Structure 1
Amino acid sequence: MVMGAGGIGGMDIDGMIYQIMEAEQEPIMNQYQQTEEVNQQIEAYQDINSKLDTFKRDAASIDADTFGAVAESSDEDVVTAEADSDVDSASYDVEVEQLAQKQRIVATGDVDPSDLSGGEFHLRIEDDIGFGVYLDDDVEELSDIASAINNAKGNDDLVQATVIEDNLVLEVSDSNTDLIVEDGEDVHDEKGVLENLGILDLDDDSDIYNRSTIELGDDLGDEGGTLEIEVAEELYEVDIEEGDSAEDLASAIEAEIGDEDTAVELDAADDIVITSEEDIETEEKGNTGIAGIDGVTDGESNYVLDSEELTDYDDGGRLLQKSQGAEAYINGLEVTSDDNTLDDAVDGVTFDLQQDTGSATIDVDTDTEGIREEIEGFVESYNSVIDMIDLYTNPQRTEEGEELDEEGAEEVIEGGILQGESQLRTLQSQLHNSVVMPVDDIGEDGEEMTLSQFGIQVQDDGRLEIDEAGRGWGQTLDEAIENDLDELREVFARESANTIEGEDLDKILDEGEFTLEVSGEESTVSADNGSFDELDSLIEAINDSDDGISRVIASEDDNGNLELTSFRELEHGALQEQMPGIADRVEGTVEAAVGSQFGSQPGYIGEPGGDVGRIPTLENEIDRINENIERDLDRLESREDSLRAQFTRMQQATAEMQAQQQQMASQIGTLGI
């Protein structure tokens, strides 16, 4: 009996509690295992998403330009070129005579910049009214003057001023363009700022432009009137209507007096500036009776720095670099340009001149090698998606990864982690259909055509293969690129389009009203004047953010038709729909899997952190399991405390019982029993 009690008293409480807790932790460990499996499923879906995104980008990269002409130069140090996709093959011999360059003028005057404080002057270039420069009262350095020029309101990078080795340099931003300057009032030595700086020499610079400024007030347009303007002793009358703005008045003046010698523009202060080689006079406000004209300034002179008269800096003059245009010969014909880009010489081909002398040949032709590389990338990317879906849904598949495990062996990815996900198989089928199903209305005869007719065959395992030997019933890819390039482009790169054409479009323009059904809901736009004057006005009405047709973008296609773009379903009796090629079909299929552009149609897979889709659902499942684990851990902690209390009481009871047994044994021994 004592031995039995001693056995109880000597028990290992911690060991017994550990054994009990270990058994009761097994469900929690199972839940941890569940989270690992769900995380593996999320990673698998993320891998698929990544492959889908790559496939979509590879498909989108095959556009109309892929199949177009490209321009290659025999010497890119002399000239490079770019060609539009629809340009015919050709070869151009280009000989560069001179590059275009910008005018640079250096200030040669010997003056203390501080003497020019508070001065003002005006800078402009041809075909631009320019800007005024106002110097602060505390000018100290040439850099202060340069900053005043560069930061002047209205400069807008027309002229850039820099200080190099204590020399102020003015550079006109446009090549082949001369600087026009106007000095202000005298600030030092009976000269204006520009004369003091040595930029302007009134003895040499005799070409004069006249500038007249009409200062406008806030009450312009409160009432009508007539403004009289005299140019070259010819009188013009400009009517101002009630409600006219500064832009309206400037446009009216431009319509009356504007020509190649006279320009009318708004300056930075919204005043009207008239610049002309001829004398300009305007009637003063008292004679016009027009509200909103606060004053007129006439007769200010702008001096043209004639590059033919300016002396080079090396010879003691102001001219660091003269302005000039580019000159070149293309196939023996002279071509000139204000800059070094020749974009009007040959339709569809832009030449960029790189050095001032030299020759090179530009060959414009189809980039057959580039087309093949793009299609090869497309095929490889498609097969990669199909392989990955098959790996994660087929438990019989394994794949070697790029990483090594702890023992140095290549990682092996076991297949089947997404086994039973039927929608993945549906996605695989949809991708297959988007790629291999026929594209209709191809070529002049409007035929249905598939990739197999261009040397891209579907294998038994669902993967694509480029047929190099012509085993299929079509042709090889190289033969298709050589013989049927237009059809191949249509199959891959044709964009979906909704158009209204011909008489149907003319009727809408004449009636001045257009009603379109968007996802079952009708919207109407109407012309302000009873009819749409031209297609542009109808397009503007549709696209207007306030009154237009929601979720629809209108534009004019290459054939002058109305084109409507939308991710919604459109209905109109005259609407003609052009079905998309493979690239657009792939994009639609991938968007449906991952999520649409507008987010209104969440994809089946979804994205991490999203609201809808398999990935967000699995993330929510992990959160639910983790909550269960936390609750079970709290329960186990309470269970451990309870067991420890029970065993402690049992130990105490055992100890008391042993003490009683010892006391009884002692008493029996005393009695001699």
Structure 2
Amino acid sequence: MDSGMRMTGLASGMDVDSMVTQMMKAERIKVDRMEQDKTWVEWQREDLRSMNSQFQSFRPSSTDAIFSKSTFTGSVATSDNKDVVTASASSDANEGTYTISNISQLATAASKGSTGDIADNLASDAELHNIRDFDIAENTDFTFEISTADGSKEFTMNSSDSMQDVVDKVNNSELGLNAFYDEETRQFSMMRSETGELRNDGSDEISIETDNAGFIGSLNLGAEDVQNAQFELNGMAMEKASNSFEVNGLDVNLKSTSADPVNIEVGQDKATAKEAIMNFVDDYNELIADANEKTMETRNRDYEPLTDTQKDEMSEKEIEQWEEMARSGTLRNERSVSKALTQMRQDFSEDVDSTNQDSDMTDMTDIGLETGDWRTQGLIEVDEAKLDKALEKDADAVYEMFNADGGTHAEKGIARRLRDTVGDAVDSMSRRAGNENSITDQSHTMGKEIERINDRIESFEERLADKEQRYYAEFTRMEKAIQQNNAQMQQMQSAMGGMGGGMMGGM
């Protein structure tokens, strides 16, 4: 029966709406339970997606330091006087001691500049902003040419051009020059951007052909100033155009002159390899600890997901605190995460059957990596002294422990195994929980489960609506029966009243 046709207690005096609401509240308990189940699965999906993101962040990449051969085979150079000489070594540098001594001069860039105030060459009262201030006739074109080791270029100027125009043209000429004009001192200068003597023909590093207007001559440019660095390397006299140069894989930078010898020690760069391994282990342990915590967390059955009615009766702070307790255990024994954890522990602990047959390093304990007791839940502990010793003994073998690339799982290094395992785990979790870019809930297992719960809720809501209508129909029939009964009673009372009045009149 339509709610507009309901008879709500007019005859009985009963609060029918309230009574139906109370009767339906008991019926809605099942719907509330399904809504809570849906919320729980949604929480599981959110938390599994979050865990999946952590796995993706950890997943070793080919660009990571742990995969780079140079991380394990690099060299390091150490200077005993960094104020005079600094150095860095490539992996091609030979180990040993390099001595640089008798640094008599550093390389300087070639330069030419005005030898003094060029006022004597100016027209009377000129301030030298423009070329015509040199007493060059107005609207006069003239050319001059500059050549360097980078090439040569002819410049065409006009007497109406400013000194800044000259500077700009020289600087933009791709001749490797930096020109400058100081209006206060009225001096002009040019300097090469590179140091040293770069031209092999003995000519000036900055060669200028004068112009027919006399502009270049008016600048009073002095003699060129340039020099190479001069020093001794392991007792051998050397000369370099630059203060920074490479010798046998060693990059050297001369910073100051000095007669005293500076020793540069080149050796194996154990620190970089150790740092890469320590960072890799730290990232691994962080992921394992978080995953262990989530998969072992117990669900708090005293705190179920809140219904909408319950939330309406609570403050936002109370809801937040409740759901923090209710959300525990969402990933307890979650199979995709638990499987990944088991395999990751095996990836670290199983021997590496490297193709490097000369190495006796096959187990992670050989390089100072160990799992603690059962309480550490698979976390890796590092014996730094043992790791240092392994790197010093055979850095290539340590590299193979992480990066061996055989055809079988046993022949792969630890990092490669973990890359495979984590990749499989990411795919498995995505199939279970999807991701933020999932188009529909049908694309993953948990989404399908949520849709099934939604279907059950919708079906049950329809049944509840039908039941509510039946309750109102029953009350309506009761109301009608009471009305009919009341009407009959009134008729009987009226009839009896009429009979009583007739009898009194007969008497």
**TM-score, length-scaled by structure 1:** 0.51
Q: Say if 2:351 is the partner of 1:437.
A: yes
Verify the 8 A CA contact 1:113 1:141 in the aligned structure 2.
Answer: yes
- Alignment map for 1:272-671 (pairs within 5 Å): 310-311=222-223, 322-344=225-247, 347-357=248-258, 359=260, 360-368=262-270, 371-394=273-296, 417=331, 419-422=333-336, 425=339, 428-429=342-343, 432-433=346-347, 436-442=350-356, 445=358, 449-457=362-370, 462-466=378-382, 476-492=386-402, 581-584=413-416, 586-587=418-419, 589-591=421-423, 594=426, 608-609=435-436, 621-622=446-447, 625=450, 665=490, 668=493
CA deviation digits over 1:451-493, x for unaligned, max 9? 3334434567555444579xxxxxx434433434453344446
Would the alpha carbon gap of residues 586 and 198 (structure 1) be closer, same or farther in structure 2, given more than 3 Å must change?
A: farther
Report deviation, 1:669: 5.7
> What RMSD in Å do the two structures reach over aligned CA positions?
5.4
Verify the 8 A CA contact 1:88 1:364 in the aligned structure 2.
Answer: yes
Aligned equivalent of 1:540: none
Secondary structure of 1:70's aligned partner: strand
Verify the 8 A CA contact 2:106 2:254 in the aligned structure 1.
Answer: yes
Report deviation, 1:103: 2.5
Verify the 8 A CA contact 2:40 2:330 in the aligned structure 1.
Answer: no
Match of 1:173 among 193, 207, 225: 193
Secondary structure of 1:94's aligned partner: strand
Aligned equivalent of 2:130: 113
Verify the 8 A CA contact 2:20 2:471 in the aligned structure 1.
Answer: no
Verify the 8 A CA contact 2:72 2:396 in the aligned structure 1.
Answer: no
Query: How far apart, CA to CA, are the structure 2 residues paired with 1:435 and 1:416?
Result: 29
Query: How far apart, CA to CA, are the structure 2 residues paired with 1:162 and 1:605?
Result: 68
Match of 2:164 among 139, 143, 157: 143
Report deviation, 1:181: 3.0
Verify the 8 A CA contact 1:80 1:352 in the aligned structure 2.
Answer: yes
Verify the 8 A CA contact 2:107 2:227 in the aligned structure 1.
Answer: yes
Would the alpha carbon gap of residues 143 and 608 (structure 1) be closer, same or farther in structure 2, given more than 3 Å must change?
A: farther
- Alignment map for 1:217-296 (pairs within 5 Å): none
Report deviation, 1:338: 1.0
State the identity as a percent. 20
Verify the 8 A CA contact 1:386 1:428 in the aligned structure 2.
Answer: no
Verify the 8 A CA contact 1:593 1:606 in the aligned structure 2.
Answer: no
Would the alpha carbon gap of residues 335 and 594 (structure 1) be closer, same or farther in structure 2, given more than 3 Å must change?
A: farther
Aligned equivalent of 2:151: 129
- Alignment map for 1:153-232 (pairs within 5 Å): 155=174, 158-165=176-183, 168-177=188-197, 178-182=205-209, 186=212, 190-191=213-214, 194-195=216-217, 197-199=219-221
- Alignment map for 1:28-39 (pairs within 5 Å): 28-39=35-46
Query: How far apart, CA to CA, are the structure 1 residues paired with 2:402 and 2:87?
Result: 26
Secondary structure of 1:6's aligned partner: coil
Verify the 8 A CA contact 1:54 1:381 in the aligned structure 2.
Answer: no
Would the alpha carbon gap of residues 51 and 106 (structure 1) be closer, same or farther in structure 2, given more than 3 Å must change?
A: same
Verify the 8 A CA contact 1:438 1:450 in the aligned structure 2.
Answer: yes
Moved more, 374-383 or 70-79: 374-383
Query: How far apart, CA to CA, are the structure 2 residues paired with 1:113 and 1:176?
Result: 33
CA deviation digits over 1:385-413, x for unaligned, max 9? 44444444445799xxxxxx988xx9999
Report deviation, 1:158: 1.6
Would the alpha carbon gap of residues 362 and 7 (structure 1) be closer, same or farther in structure 2, given more than 3 Å must change?
A: same
CA deviation digits over 1:204-233, x for unaligned, max 9? xxxxxxxxxxxxxxxxxxxxxxxxxxxxxx
Report deviation, 1:450: 3.5
Report deviation, 1:50: 2.6
**TM-score, length-scaled by structure 2:** 0.64
Secondary structure of 1:449's aligned partner: coil
Structure 1 residues without counterparts, runs of 5 or longer: 200-309, 312-318, 399-404, 470-475, 498-568, 570-578, 596-601
Would the alpha carbon gap of residues 121 and 467 (structure 1) be closer, same or farther in structure 2, given more than 3 Å must change?
A: same
Instruction: Report the structure, 1 or 2, having the larger helix content.
Output: 2
Q: Amino acid of the residue matched to residue 206 of structure 2?
A: L
CA deviation digits over 1:348-381, x for unaligned, max 9? 2221122344753322223445544443444444
Count of equivalent residues: 436
Secondary structure of 2:246's aligned partner: strand
Verify the 8 A CA contact 1:67 1:366 in the aligned structure 2.
Answer: yes
Secondary structure of 1:441's aligned partner: coil
Query: How far apart, CA to CA, are the structure 2 residues paired with 1:586 and 1:56?
Result: 15
Verify the 8 A CA contact 1:122 1:131 in the aligned structure 2.
Answer: yes
Aligned equivalent of 2:311: none
Query: How far apart, CA to CA, are the structure 2 residues paired with 1:397 and 1:20?
Result: 26
Query: How far apart, CA to CA, are the structure 2 residues paired with 1:22 and 1:632?
Result: 10
Q: Say if 2:103 is the partner of 1:76.
A: no
Query: How far apart, CA to CA, are the structure 2 residues paired with 1:195 and 1:616?
Result: 85
Query: How far apart, CA to CA, are the structure 2 residues paired with 1:616 and 1:92?
Result: 68
Report deviation, 1:417: 0.5
Q: Amino acid of the residue matched to residue 48 of structure 2?
A: Q
Q: Amino acid of the residue matched to residue 387 of structure 2?
A: L
Structure with more contact order per residue of length (Cα contacts < 8 Å, sep ≥ 6) = 2
Would the alpha carbon gap of residues 392 and 607 (structure 1) be closer, same or farther in structure 2, given more than 3 Å must change?
A: same
Q: Amino acid of the residue matched to residue 333 of structure 1?
A: M
CA deviation digits over 1:602-630, x for unaligned, max 9? 99899945679xx9955x84598489759
Query: How far apart, CA to CA, are the structure 2 residues paired with 1:144 and 1:25?
Result: 83
Report deviation, 1:69: 2.8
Structure 2 residues without counterparts, runs of 5 or longer: 1-7, 123-127, 133-138, 198-204, 301-318, 499-507
Q: Amino acid of the residue matched to residue 41 of structure 2?
A: Q
Instruction: Report the structure, 1 or 2, having the larger strand content.
Output: 1
CA deviation digits over 1:175-222, x for unaligned, max 9? 1142133456x4xxx335x445555xxxxxxxxxxxxxxxxxxxxxxx
Verify the 8 A CA contact 1:83 1:350 in the aligned structure 2.
Answer: yes
Report deviation, 1:39: 0.6
Aligned equivalent of 2:4: none
Q: Amino acid of the residue matched to residue 433 of structure 1?
A: D
Query: How far apart, CA to CA, are the structure 1 residues paired with 2:67 and 2:209?
Result: 55
Query: How far apart, CA to CA, are the structure 1 residues paired with 2:426 and 2:337?
Result: 12
